[in-house]
Amino acid sequence: MEGGKIERPLKLHFIPYLAPGHMIPLCDIATLFATHGQQVTIITTPSNANFLSKSLPYIDPLFLRIHTVDFPYQQVGLPAGVESMSNTPDLASSSKLYAGAMLLQEPIQNFMEKDPPDCIIGDFLYPWVHDLASKLRVPNLAFNGFSLFTVCLMETLRTNPSLDSHMGSFVVPNLPHPITLSGRLSKSSEDFMGLMLEKELKSNGLIVNNFADLDGEEYIKYYENTTGHKAWHLGPASLVRKTVQEKAERGQESAVSVQECLSWLNSKRDNSVLYISFGSLCRYQDKQLYEIACAIEASGHEFIWVVPLKKGKEDESEEEKEKWFPKGFEERNIGKTGLIIRGWAPQVLILSHPAVGAFMTHCGWNSTVEAVGAGVPMITWPSHGEQFYNEKLITEVRGIGVEVGATEWCLTGFEEREKLLSSDSIEKAVRRLMDGGDEAEKIRSRAQEFGEKARRAVEEGGSSHKNLLALIDDLKRLRDSKPIE
């Protein structure tokens, strides 16, 4: 209450992009605003609304609701029900999904014109959000799902197009740390990302699913000094999930029961289990899966391994599914030293279990920040997109992981790879973290320190919690200073 007046909640409209890696963190951030008494509407398509309504924590519909707009299947040539990047098996269908997402502008605009918000928070892959906000004369905040470190690296590469990666490794200039890259995104990807980042800078600020200690004050200052843009660290968003049930329900329905997963983990010693997952969009060929299987068996460590179902092959025979298993692998390991999950896994729940000692990851930002929030060190195996940039923050800048040695930059996660990572190099990386020793203990200790910092950041008085309250105050000031029409 201020000056005898009851403070009005903000009316906030969130527009997440149609991919789990974008949708889940932005909806967790939307939940944060709702739990602080703001009126939040998440705008998405029917099948995504169905998935979100099952995975979002329950909050009074007065503060958190989902509004749906129909997805234009026929216009873009997709089958009915395909509304998420996780359901697109190739680049052609991903492009159709993106085209369909762009066509959501008109129905979303129609909805907002009837019920204007105080602020729009939109994924940067929707370049029209800024124009819509300008038309409605309200502020907009951008979200891209990256760490600020990665945004700084991308911005530096964007403004230094002459940096040549064809001659092998090169050092990215001007950053607070000397970052060495062995390649960069394809020209078309960089051009596309550049356009999106440029558009993003027109927003009233950038929402980051990270906390200040992990990106580092040096990168926050670098970003704000070089772009003149404000970044708001509000994460890790996954820590909004407190209970076992909330952690288990984050994302799609799990392919394994929570009880089975917890029961298996509860029987293991602390830090004894290797968790392996390459996200929802990364698909490795059978010959690469074979090398991973050989490596983890040779390392002698217990493991949980998430293997995505091949799109369109859900009905294939068990024999077909397991053709990449080394001879006798299943009999020797499954259910005893190893657990294989086909499909979606309750990752936040698994990572927060004390039995998990390391995470072999593709370095997608959600997986990365979930691991950091749980204090788990990483074995980094980037595949595509910005994942190679995230790897540098984990290994070179913060020292909370080891590299497996991946160097092949792919355009998408389902692309055929030319290079095969050998079981020897995979086993060596696993042993560096899981066998113990001075190096492993230092990395584990640093990872646990960052886990503690992550938890403190989202608690009352922590940096992300303070940022959230300051952002709410800022948006209220903007709303209340608008002249009455």
Q: Of the listed 123, 213, 229, 465, which one is catalytic?
A: 123
Contact of 368 with 389, CB cutoff 8 Å: no
| Residues whose CB is less than 8 angstroms from the CB of residue 85 and which lie 6 or more positions away in sequence, other chains included | 18, 19, 20, 21, 94, 97, 281
φ, ψ at 170 (rounded to 5°): -150, 155
DSSP string, 197-259: HHHHTTSS-EEESS-HHHH-HHHHHHHHHHH---EEE---GGGG--SHHHHHTSSS--SS-HH
Work out the end-to-end distance of the chain between its first and last CA atoms, rounded to an integer number of angstroms.
24
Q: Of the listed 22, 233, 353, 384, which one is catalytic?
A: 22
For this structure, is 123 an active site residue?
yes
**Size (the chain), residues:** 485
For this structure, is 22 an active site residue?
yes
Q: Distance (Å, rounded) from C-alpha 310 to C-alpha 322? A: 12
Q: What angle do CA 372, 12, 25 make, to 5 degrees?
A: 20
Q: Strand, coil or helix: what is 361?
A: strand
Q: Strand, coil or helix: what is 314?
A: coil
Strands 170-172, 179-181: pairing kind: antiparallel
Q: Distance (Å, rounded) from C-alpha 314 to C-alpha 310? A: 7
Residues that are catalytic: 22, 123
